[in-house]
């Protein structure tokens, strides 16, 4: 009777283990995150290409003149505690989430100022 109970217990453990492992088999493969060197490198848009309202905020900030535009036209944006959460987004993406603080008029001013930055970068 004890041997039968042990065999049943072992079979239950084996079945539970197989169920657990089958769930692991369906999980997507985890890819490694960015390396420290990739974090240190400025975003591609900052290295080349024009700065626009559809450029990530992080890429705009990687260009000193671009960051100056954001600091002047949208004071406090780059110093907000939530900045790490939205820096990969564009100004057009965060506009609807700004509760009216980022308006079309403000974005038009930012775009004009970024165009001036682009002209200065192209002249170099």
In a domain, 9, yes or no: no
Number of compact structural domains in the chain: 1
pLDDT, tens digit (0-9, with 9 covering 90-100), for 26-85: 556 565 655 565 555 555 544 568 999 999 999 999 999 999 999 999 999 999 999 999
Tokens of 10: 């072992």
Domain enclosing residue 99, as ranges = 36-123
Q: Whole-model pTM above 0.75?
A: no
Place of tokens 């024009």: 50
Closest CA to 116 of 40, 51, 32: 51
Assigned domain for 8 exists = no
């Amino acid at each position: 009777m004890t041997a039968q109970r042990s065999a049943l217990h072992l079979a239950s453990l084996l079945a539970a283990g197989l169920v657990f492992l089958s769930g692991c088999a369906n999980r997507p493969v985890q890819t490694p995150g960015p390396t420290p060197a990739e974090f240190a490198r400025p975003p591609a848009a900052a290295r080349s290409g024009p700065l626009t309202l559809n450029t990530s905020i992080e890429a705009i900030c990687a260009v000193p003149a671009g960051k100056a535009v954001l600091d002047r036209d949208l004071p406090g944006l780059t110093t907000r505690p939530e900045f790490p959460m939205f820096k990969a987004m564009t100004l057009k993406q965060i506009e609807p989430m700004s509760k009216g603080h980022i308006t079309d008029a403000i974005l038009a001013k930012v775009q004009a100022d970024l165009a001036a930055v682009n002209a200065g970068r192209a002249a170099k």
